[in-house]
């Protein structure tokens, strides 16, 4: 049996395991969920959606800045439209469809394939690591139950993650990619300060998204603003878990399972389940709206 087949079987087993745990958590609390009286305060859903849209609009801007640094950017509004369309691809395991669409669009625009590929690698690393870093920063001042035991490990990994953003490491990775594709090496002139600035912008993205999540939770239960640190950290580390489970569509199951576990300590399991699954639908709905808007803009621009 080949290594790829072993890997595929492993991914299937982990996927089934994660989904079974999620189903177990829901079924175990099913009676409590049925008996629980849920009240939704629509007033708080309005700022939740507005802030979510603001955070999601920041992502294609960050992608534009990354491609600009690596000298393969398209026009600004063209980038926004293409990126919103590609985001729907994260619901396909491995995000292959999304990044494949990006590569195709940039290739048609005559952009260097290696530069675009390196941009996707940089973007994927920054978006994933930023979630981990955001949680680690909050962990330094907030208790997260069992995760507190790994605080030192989180801090060490976060420091190493920042160091690995140095252009020297990226240049070495680019050289390897060029060798694999039998292309001439590309010498990048990237300043470390620019990359740190991009990382800071990703932290800004998480701050806005965390505020959106706070209002989303507040729509379902009365929760004090002092809990925003715990809510933000829980959402960030759960999203990171979803990123790491790249073989799942948008981290489906991995994110929800961890979020239910962490929110359960503050809201109780029935409400944690509702918020976790509800926030997934909230994200899917918003992504779908932006996807349709991007498609409509594409049609209008062609006329």
Residues 6+ apart with CB under 8 A from 264: 272
How much is the pLDDT for 250? 47
In this prediction, residues 70-83 reach a mean pLDDT of: 90
| pLDDT tens digit sequence for 80-115 | 988 888 887 776 655 667 778 888 889 889 998 889
Of residues 81, 51, 96, the one with CA closest to residue 216: 51
The alpha carbon torsion through 9, 157, 125, 22 (nearest 10 deg) reads 40
Query: For residues 80 and 60, what is the distance between their CA atoms, to the nearest angstrom?
Result: 5
Q: Is 215 strand, coil or helix?
A: helix
- Is residue 280 within 8 A of residue 255, CB to CB? The reply is yes
- Hunting for tokens 């981990």 — which residue is that? 132
Computed from CA positions of residues 45, 48, 54, 59, in that sequence, does the dihedral angle turn out positive or negative? negative
pLDDT of residue 177: 81
Give the whole-angstrom CA distance, residue 250 versus residue 280.
10
Contact 114, 178 (CB under 8 A): yes
- Position 43 pLDDT exceeds 60: yes
pLDDT in tens, 141-160: 988 877 788 899 999 999 99
What's the pLDDT score for residue 14? Answer: 47
pLDDT value at 17 more than 80: no
pLDDT by residue (tens digit) across 282-293?
888 888 888 888
41: left (phi over 0), alpha (psi -120 to 50) or beta: beta
Query: Of 20, 92, 62, whose CA–CA distance to 198 is shortest?
Result: 62
The pLDDT of residue 18: 47
Q: How remote is the C-alpha of 32 from its chain's centroid?
A: 31
**pTM for this one?**
0.83
Mean pLDDT confidence for 188-205: 92
Pick from 12-21, 24-33, 237-246, 248-257 the range whose average pLDDT is largest.
237-246
pLDDT value of position 27: 57
Query: How high is the mean pLDDT of the chain?
Result: 81
Asked whether residue 68 carries a pLDDT value surpassing 50, the answer given is yes
Calculate mean pLDDT across residues 264-280: 81
pLDDT band, residue 34 (cuts 50/70/90): low
pLDDT attached to residue 208: 96
Least confident of 80-84, 130-134, 264-268, 297-301: 297-301
pLDDT in tens, 219-269: 988 888 888 999 999 999 988 887 776 545 544 556 777 888 888 888 776
Distance between CA atoms of 170 and 185, rounded to whole angstroms?
12
Q: Which long-range contacts (CB under 8 A, 24 or more apart) does 124-129 make?
A: 124/95, 125/165, 126/62, 126/66, 126/165, 126/198, 126/199, 126/202, 127/59, 127/202, 127/243, 128/240, 128/243, 128/244, 129/161, 129/165, 129/199
Per-residue pLDDT, 261: 83
What pLDDT score was predicted for residue 117?
87
Please report which confidence band the pLDDT of residue 8 belongs to, taking 50, 70 and 90 as the band edges.
low
Q: Tell me the per-residue pLDDT of 154-186, one tens digit each, with 9 for 90 and over.
A: 999 999 999 999 989 888 888 888 888 777 778
């Amino acid at each position: 049996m080949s290594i790829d087949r072993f890997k595929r079987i492993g991914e299937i087993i982990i996927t089934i395991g994660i989904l079974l745990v999620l189903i177990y958590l829901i079924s175990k609390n099913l009676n409590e969920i049925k008996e629980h009286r849920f009240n939704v305060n629509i007033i708080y859903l309005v700022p939740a959606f507005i802030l979510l849209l603001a955070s999601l609009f920041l992502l294609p801007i960050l992608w534009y800045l990354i491609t600009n640094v690596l000298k393969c950017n398209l026009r600004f509004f063209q980038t926004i439209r293409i990126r919103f369309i590609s985001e729907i691809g994260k619901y396909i395991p491995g995000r292959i469809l999304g990044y494949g669409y990006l590569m195709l669009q940039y290739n048609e625009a005559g952009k260097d394939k290696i530069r675009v590929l390196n941009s996707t690698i940089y973007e994927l690393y920054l978006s994933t690591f930023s979630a981990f870093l955001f949680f680690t920063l909050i962990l330094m001042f907030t208790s997260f139950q069992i995760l507190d035991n790994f605080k030192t490990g989180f801090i060490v990994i976060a420091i190493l993650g920042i160091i690995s953003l140095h252009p020297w490491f990226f240049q070495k990775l680019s050289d390897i990619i060029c060798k694999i594709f039998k292309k001439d090496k590309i010498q990048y002139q990237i300043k470390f300060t620019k990359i740190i600035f991009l990382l800071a912008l990703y932290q800004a993205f998480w701050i806005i998204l965390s505020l959106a999540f706070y209002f989303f939770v507040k729509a379902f239960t009365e929760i004090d603003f002092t809990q925003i640190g715990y809510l933000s950290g829980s959402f960030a580390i759960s999203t990171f878990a979803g990123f790491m489970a790249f073989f799942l569509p948008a981290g489906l199951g991995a994110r929800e399972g961890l979020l239910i576990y962490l929110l359960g300590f503050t809201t109780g399991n029935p409400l944690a389940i509702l918020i976790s699954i509800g926030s997934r639908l909230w994200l899917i709905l918003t992504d779908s709206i932006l996807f349709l808007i991007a498609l409509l803009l594409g049609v209008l621009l062609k006329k």
